[in-house]
Structure 1
Amino acid sequence: MGQFAVIGLGRFGSATSLELMRLGHSVLGVDADSRVIDQMADRLTRAAIADVTDRDALAELGLPEYDVVLVAIGEDLQASLVCTVHLKALGVKVLWVKASSRAHHLILAKLGANRIIHPEDEMGIRIAQVLSYPMVNDYISLGNGDFVVEIEASAQLDGRTLGDALTTDPPGAIHALAVKRKGETTVHPTDQFVVRTKDTLILFGPLHYLKNAAPKLR
């Protein structure tokens, strides 16, 4: 079980906090608005009212003890930046911060944030990918153009082998990591594995090859 602190319980911060709780983690939620804390207090491990621009108030929360601190402050650029400065000075080891603009991102990078998040941009990209490739249930970018994608096999793939369905030039550009079928998972299936309609295929490969293969997987 991880220990997470989320500073700023707007829509993004609240959604992140509640999902972390659902996944079994311990979550401290922090916000300057007492009404927000009242609404979230019974749903989080711990909730605290604090002026996040006040170093002493942040110090009292013991934030360096958490695995990750997420600054999820919305449009208040000054509060986000001041809070980030204080958290770095307090010795927070892993600091994720939500950015509202490219300028905000640039400053956060200079302040030493470990990861900078653009929720709207990232969700927009994800939605565009799903709309463009409706057979893709989900995907994860691994960097350097490599992706892991989850695809539901269409009727067109029924009875075909993975080796036939995933033919690429050069061969082997796309790898099947697993196939899920009715609650059972086959890890590292061979090229001779026979696909059935509605199997869930977990594939790995460069984006270029996955895009080229997409029409054959519809």
Structure 2
Amino acid sequence: MKRGQYAVIGLGRFGSSLAKELVKLGYEVLGIDKDEEMVDEMSEVLTHVVVADATDEEVLRSLGIRNFDCAIVAIGDDIQSSIMTAILLKDIGVKTVVTKALSELHGKVLQKIGVDRVIFPERDMGVRVAHQLVSPNLLDYIELSKDYTIVELSVPKRLSGRTLRELDPRAKYGCSVVAINKKKGVIIAPTATDTVDEQDVMVIIGTNDQIESFESEVIG
């Protein structure tokens, strides 16, 4: 198998959405689910699909799962199957195992068995939506770690034409503008002389406090 091939186990709302997006991004995706209807639905979208029980080690081995670059366990509401599948994937030797957690406790168990990354789609989406609701200029919010966050902030009219040197987020607030999304394209790693215009989107990285200060004092 070439690098960049993914196996998505569990083709419910989250798993199918993730699998479709990976295909759009140009990767080959194997979809696995016990439900024949779900597999049929995804058969024309994904590279390969198979009806299978992912808690059966022999089945996983027969699918060559060990050769995949990454396996995502997106099993919907069966915590036992999710944990069993994750254990088998680690034992078989899949390079990277990412697992959806249904609760904080489920997530702790997955971390203890050595899953490479645990994701909480519902919790994380709730956090993002809450931030968007309380901050009208905030378009997106992603927590990178306990300390650092990356956000997208829309540029209001009154800041149109200002340079990053004038805004000076790093010196004044400690956060950094890592990209500016303009109508004509994205500026990655902008310099101090780059300007922002109304309806541009600034991508900013920093701590929550730094970004909050910058947003309240500069963006308004």
TM-score surpassing 0.5? yes
Q: 1:131 aligns with which of 121, 130, 133?
A: 133
Structure 2 equivalent of residue 206 of structure 1: 207
Structure 1 residue 36 corresponds to structure 2 residue 38: yes
* Residue aligning to 1:66: 68
- The farther-off stretch of 158-167 and 117-126 is 158-167
Which of 12, 26, 33 is matched with 1:24 structurally? 26
Give the conservation status (yes or no) of the 8 Å contact 1:29–1:48: yes
Matched, 1:121 2:113: no
Change over 3 Å in CA distance of 1:84–1:185 after alignment to 2: closer
Code of the aligned partner of 1:211: E
Within 2, Cα distance between the matches of 1:151 and 1:116? 27
Task: Give 5+ residue unaligned stretches, structure 1.
Answer: none
Name which of structure 1's ranges 88-97 and 131-140 shifts more when overlaid on structure 2. Answer: 131-140
Given the two structures, how large is their TM-score scaled by the length of structure 2?
A: 0.90
Aligned-pair identity in percent equals: 37
Who is 1:173 aligned against? 174
Residue type of the alignment partner of 1:4: Y
Give 1:197's aligned amino acid.
E
Structure 2 gaps, min length 5: none
For the 8 Å contact 1:12–1:72, the answer to whether it is kept is yes
Cα distance between partner residues in 1 of 2:208 and 2:121? 22
Q: Paired residues, what number?
A: 217
Per the TM alignment, residue 19 of structure 1 is displaced from its structure 2 partner at its CA by: 0.8
8 A Cα contact 1:176 1:204, kept in partner: yes
Does the CA-based 8 Å contact 1:165-1:217 persist in structure 2? Answer: no
Q: CA 1:89 to 1:186, structure 2 compared with 1: closer, same or farther past 3 Å?
A: closer
Q: Matches of 1:25 and 1:162 in 2, distance apart?
A: 36
Q: Distance in 2 between matches of 1:10 and 1:209?
A: 38
Of 160, 163, 188, the residue aligned with 2:162 is 160
Larger mean Cα displacement after TM superposition, 59-68 or 183-192: 183-192
* Superposed displacement of residue 73, structure 1: 0.6
Contact 1:166-1:174 within 8 A present in 2 as well? no
Q: Offset of 1:193 from its aligned partner?
A: 3.7
1:28 and 1:52 mapped to 2: Cα distance?
13
One-letter code of the match for 1:92? V
- Rounded to whole Å, the distance in 2 between the matches of 1:38 and 1:167 is 51
- What secondary structure, in the 3-state scheme, does the structure 1 residue paired with 2:55 have? coil
SS at match of 2:149: strand
Tell me which amino acid in the other structure corresponds to 2:97.
L
| Alpha-carbon distance change, 54 to 213 in structure 1, aligned in 2, over 3 angstroms | same
Q: Does 1:50 align with 2:60?
A: no
Question: What is residue 182 of structure 1 aligned with on the other side?
Answer: 183
Equivalences for 1:71-150 in 2 at 5 Å? 71-150=73-152
Query: How far 1:162 sits from its partner (Å)?
Result: 2.5
2:101·2:120 contact (CA, 8 Å) conserved in 1?
yes
Q: What amino acid is the match of 1:133? A: S
* Aligned residue type for 2:174: A
Alpha carbons of 1:157 and 1:44: their partners in 2 closer, same or farther (altered >3 Å)? same
C-alpha deviations, 1:81-110, integer Å up to 9, x for none? 221222122111210111112221222122
TM-score, normalization by structure 1: 0.90
Q: Displacement of 1:24 after TM fit?
A: 0.9
195 and 26 in structure 1: CA distance in 2 versus 1, 3 angstrom threshold: same
